[in-house]
Amino acid sequence: MKLFDVYPLYDVTPVSAKGAVLTDINGTEYLDLYGGHAVISIGHSHPHYTQSIKDQLDKIAFYSNAVQNPIQTAYAQKLGTLSGCEDYQLFLCNSGAEANENALKMASFITGKSKVVAFKNSFHGRTSAAVAVTDNPSIQAPINKGHEVIFIALNDEEALKEALSGGDVCAVIIESIQGVGGLDQPTTPFFKTIEALCQEYQVMLIADEVQSGFGRTGLFFGFQQHGVQPDLIPMAKGMGNGFPIGGVLIHTKYKGIHGQLGTTFGGNHLGCRAALAVLEVIEEENLINHAKEMHEYVKVQMASLPAEIILKGRGLMLGLAFPFEIAALRKELLYTHHIFTGAAKDKKVLRILPALNITKAQIAQFFTALKKVLDKPENQSYFK
């Protein structure tokens, strides 16, 4: 049997990883500044993380949500304390798409409505409702297009007011920082306007933290930059540091009904222990503050680049916007300088999403390599 061919693959075969370094089948080391789409939050093979999973495997790895699971409870308590979201309840699932799917479903349950407002260049996942609110028709099958979705431009207050004025919207879903779209973000006044209008029209505010959560922006959640209180907060990626786990935070003013949501694998013992280890490392190593510090160091390094290259994002959820498309640049960084980076829907944006414990030396390594690529004659014409 062959694999279903849907992934364009680089000719690199990692066989081991430690911290921010991947080692391939030939023994070549690569600096990982992408973390598998912002998944690696505390570094590859962190000793506390791996030991916690090994210990849990010797006890119990899985049982369904039909029994008591104290690790779920411990995880919820720790998450509430570290995130500051103690006024929320936790529903556990397996991925970011599933988290968004359940958030949208809850919004529809609570309001009795079905239309959703989403934003241009958004990405929320590839399952039914999640892909319907993703601004990419090429990954929407006809079965996905039955959902009623209004796409508006980010920070367009008038378009938002018009979309909500009909009274038939169940949710506004917004990324605190757009990931796949290219690191654009809502302003604080716009986020506060969303919150106010959602309250006025009885609409659920969904802050998609799948990529921006767990300290990546220099705060536990990206929306906390804006002083708003979402109704629903989907999360995943950095939550498990590679172990497949996701979740939705649901404000305590909304009560659950038995059978309303459900999952077979979500919240299993092994997944919860992995996620709990992530929180323990984030707290013990003060990684959220470290993300802020590394952002400041990136800004220092940016001063040595041409002014035409713009830094986007916050914390360690970053994008470098170039005056040219970056596909060839990415390949050269990977194959010549052995550095993994990411692309975006905006073909001129290079995404940087390293583990939160990335070092200054590793960031400097990236900028040294980048300057070597930019110094090539074929790239000089883009700069003054």
Residue 7 inside a domain? The answer is no
Domain final residue, candidates 246, 269, 284: 284
**Alpha carbon 62 to its chain's center:** 26
Task: Assess whether 192 and 323 both reside in one domain.
Answer: no
pLDDT of residue 378: 80
Structural domain containing residue 357? 14-45+286-380
d(CA 96, CA 42) in angstroms, rounded, equals 18
What's the farthest any 2 CA atoms get from each other in the chain? 65
Domain final residue, candidates 228, 259, 284: 284
Task: Assess whether 34 and 62 both reside in one domain.
Answer: no
Residue 278 inside a domain? The answer is yes
CATH no. for residue 335? 3.90.1150.10
pLDDT of residue 192: 98
Residue 73 inside a domain? The answer is yes
pLDDT of residue 97: 98
Tokens describing residue 6: 């849907």
Task: Assess whether 40 and 132 both reside in one domain.
Answer: no
pLDDT of residue 379: 80
Q: In 210-297, where do the E strands start and end?
A: 232-235, 246-251
Residue 4 inside a domain? The answer is no
Task: Assess whether 53 and 36 both reside in one domain.
Answer: no
Task: Assess whether 19 and 112 both reside in one domain.
Answer: no
* Number of structural domains the chain divides into: 2
> What pTM, to 2 d.p., does this model score?
0.96
Residue pair 366/31 in contact by the 8 Å Cβ criterion: yes
Task: Assess whether 61 and 202 both reside in one domain.
Answer: yes
Count Cβ neighbours within 10 Å for each residue of 55-86 and write b for 16 or more, e otherwise: ebeeeeeeeebeeebebbeebbebbbebbebe
Taking only the tens place, the pLDDT of each residue in 86-126 is 999 999 999 999 999 999 999 999 999 999 999 999 999 99
pLDDT of residue 382: 79
pLDDT of residue 383: 79
Residue pair 317/211 in contact by the 8 Å Cβ criterion: yes
Residue 255 inside a domain? The answer is yes
Task: Assess whether 254 and 321 both reside in one domain.
Answer: no
CATH no. for residue 206? 3.40.640.10
pLDDT (tens, 9 = 90+) of the chain, 384 residues, equals 999 999 999 999 999 999 999 999 999 999 999 999 999 999 999 999 999 999 999 999 999 999 999 999 999 999 999 999 999 999 999 999 999 999 999 999 999 999 999 999 999 999 999 999 999 999 999 999 899 999 999 999 999 999 999 999 999 999 999 999 999 999 999 999 999 999 999 999 999 999 999 999 999 999 999 999 999 999 999 999 999 999 999 999 999 999 999 999 999 999 999 999 999 999 999 999 999 999 999 999 999 999 999 999 999 999 999 999 999 999 999 999 999 999 999 999 999 999 999 999 999 999 999 999 998 888 877 777
DSSP 163-181: HHTTS-EEEEEEESS-TTT
Residue 2 inside a domain? The answer is no
Task: Assess whether 62 and 23 both reside in one domain.
Answer: no
